[in-house]
Structure formats: structure tokens, C-alpha cells
């Protein structure tokens, strides 16, 4: 599994995470950035100043910071990411308390999924925080759950992009897998993205069709068990429904 390096450089990690937050969630105040990173306001201000210097961020007239020119081409998807994170986090923490494993929420961005929030478990051997990272949608459990829930025309568009890399035979195989995911309501990623990591994902329902998101549980493969699948998928589905219902409210 790809967890934080043992000799991680905290300032670099904070700057990279901050750049990802600006890209995915939109404009942030200095105080917002400080809260999200768990650092002082002065530290957040220095990090933002460096991102501005390197064109990763720029300051608006209202003094909030947004993604800069370097990040502009991969700007956040249309989903209300900041609100999604706010609504989902309590449910993620509840899932961690109930299931004892790390839980994530992610959104579809083109042919990838981007992790927008993580609640980590307390195990020494655990899947770490994935916030700000991206994975191919057709490999990630949450990505496959989202793809299976898309309208046919939207799925065709995403598969058209993916097909340039996969080839026709792999796209056919993927369509068959998505049909299975659609029938059973969840998807599994068994070490397709990282050796030693298995994940189960469920799409967040959205009657409006604008939120393409999913919740997933990620576990070390040595703790994965088919016997736990019914428990995990029921808990994930309940949380996904609760998040979708909350987001549908004005």
C-alpha cells in the first residue's frame, strides 16, 4: 500500500495538499486553508504565497485564493465538492467507528476519480489519507460504482476517453463488469490500483444527475474477507443514501 513515506517533508506535503484542495474545492480563505491543513494561519499564508509565486494559486478580489494557471486545466469537477465534503465527513467518521477501516469519498473528474475526503482508522496497518489523489475511474472501486450509475450517454462519453488507452476488448470487458456492479449495487477493487489494498465502493445517489460521487472502504488485503462484504456494503449504502439525501436539500 502507498502510505505516507517514513521521512515525509511536512511543508511539501502541506503545499501539495493545499494545491489539490484549491483545484478540487474552489476558492479558500487563509483561515479555511489553515483549518483544513491543521496549521497556523501564518503558515497557511506562507504556503499560499509560495503557490501564488509558482502560479499554482492566485488571489481574488475578495481575498480568497483559487487555483492558478498551472492547475486551471484540471480544475474541479462540477460537483459541489466543498459541500459534499462537509456533508460526508460525519458519515465517514461514523463508518470508521462501526467498521474499523479507512473510508473515503470521491468524485468523478473526466476518466478519473478524485478523493475529496478521508476518515482514517486507528489500525497500525491501515490505508492512509487519500485526500487530493486521483485514480483511474475504471480501476477504483468508487469509480466503477459511479460509472455503473451513469446515464448511458454519459457512460459512453467516459468510456470513449478510457478506450483510447484500454482498447476495444478491454472496454467490452469493463462494460460487462459495470453491468454486474449495477445489479449488485457495489464494486470491488482487489489490488488493481495498489498491491496489498482492497476497496469496496458504493455510488452516492443523486436524482438531479449533477453529483457523481461515491463512498468506499479501503482495507489492507490481508484483512479483506468476503464474509464481511454484506456488512460493509450495507453500511456504505446507508451512508451514501444519507449523504445524497442531505445534498438534495436546499
pLDDT at 47 over 60: yes
Pairing of strands 134-136, 65-67: unpaired
How large is the average pLDDT for residues 175-202?
96
pTM score, two decimals? 0.74
| Residue 3 maps to a domain | no
Instruction: Please indicate, yes or no, whether residues 186 and 219 belong to a single structural domain of this protein.
Output: yes
User: Do 137 and 197 belong together in one domain?
Assistant: yes
- Rounded to whole angstroms, the Cα distance separating 180 from 137 reads 16
Q: Verify that 54 and 144 share a domain, yes or no.
A: no
Q: How many residues are given for the chain?
A: 250
Instruction: Please give the tally of structural domains in the chain.
Output: 2
Check whether residue 205 and residue 121 sit in a common domain: yes
Do 118 and 233 lie in one domain? The reply is yes
The verdict on 70 and 88 lying in the same domain is: no
Of all helices (H) and strands (E), which one includes residue 35? Answer: helix 30-37
Q: Please, what is the end-to-end C-alpha distance for the chain in angstroms?
A: 40
Residue 8 in this model has a pLDDT that exceeds 60: no
222 — pLDDT class (breaks 50, 70, 90): very high
For residues 47 and 58, the answer to whether their CB atoms sit within 8 Å is no
- CATH number of domain containing 108: 3.30.450.40
Max CA separation in the chain (angstroms): 55
Q: pLDDT tens, 49-100? A: 999 988 889 999 899 999 887 776 544 444 478 889 889 999 999 999 999 9
144 and 90 co-located in one domain: yes
The predicted model gives 176-188 an average pLDDT of: 97
Say yes or no: 195 and 236 in one domain: yes
What pLDDT does 207 receive?
A: 67
Question: Can you tell me the mean pLDDT for 213-228?
Answer: 96
Domain-embedded: residue 220: yes
* Alpha helix segments (H runs only) across 26-135: 30-37, 41-53, 81-99
Q: For the chain, what is the mean pLDDT? A: 89
Residue where a domain stops, chosen among 23, 50, 74: 74
Please tell me whether residues 25 and 124 are part of one structural domain.
Answer: no
Note whether 46 and 161 are same-domain residues: no
Amino acid at each position: 500500500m502507498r502510505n505516507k513515506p517514513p521521512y515525509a517533508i511536512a511543508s511539501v506535503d502541506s503545499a501539495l495538499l493545499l494545491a489539490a484542495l484549491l483545484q478540487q474545492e474552489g476558492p479558500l480563505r487563509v483561515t479555511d486553508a489553515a483549518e483544513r491543513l491543521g496549521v497556523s494561519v501564518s503558515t497557511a499564508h506562507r504556503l499560499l504565497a509560495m503557490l501564488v509565486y509558482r502560479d499554482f494559486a492566485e488571489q481574488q478580489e475578495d481575498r480568497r485564493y483559487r487555483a492558478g494557471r498551472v492547475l486551471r486545466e484540471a480544475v474541479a469537477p462540477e460537483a459541489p465538492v466543498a459541500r459534499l465534503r462537509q456533508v460526508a465527513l460525519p458519515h465517514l467518521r461514523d463508518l470508521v467507528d462501526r467498521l474499523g477501516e479507512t473510508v473515503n469519498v470521491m468524485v468523478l473528474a473526466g476518466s478519473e476519480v478524485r478523493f475529496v475526503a478521508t476518515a482514517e482508522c486507528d489500525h497500525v496497518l491501515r490505508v492512509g489519507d487519500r485526500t487530493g489523489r486521483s485514480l483511474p475511474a475504471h480501476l477504483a472501486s468508487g469509480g466503477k460504482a459511479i460509472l455503473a450509475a451513469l446515464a448511458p450517454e454519459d457512460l459512453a462519453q467516459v468510456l470513449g476517453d478510457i478506450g483510447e488507452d484500454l482498447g476495444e476488448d478491454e472496454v467490452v470487458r469493463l462494460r460487462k463488469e459495470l453491468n454486474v456492479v449495477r445489479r449488485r449495487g457495489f464494486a470491488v477493487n482487489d489490488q488493481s490500483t495498489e498491491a496489498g489494498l482492497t476497496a469496496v465502493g458504493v455510488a452516492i445517489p443523486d436524482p438531479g444527475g449533477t453529483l457523481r460521487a461515491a463512498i468506499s472502504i479501503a482495507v489492507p488485503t490481508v484483512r479483506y474477507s468476503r464474509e464481511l462484504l454484506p456488512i460493509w456494503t450495507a453500511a456504505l449504502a446507508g451512508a451514501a443514501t444519507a449523504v445524497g439525501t442531505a445534498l438534495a436539500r436546499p
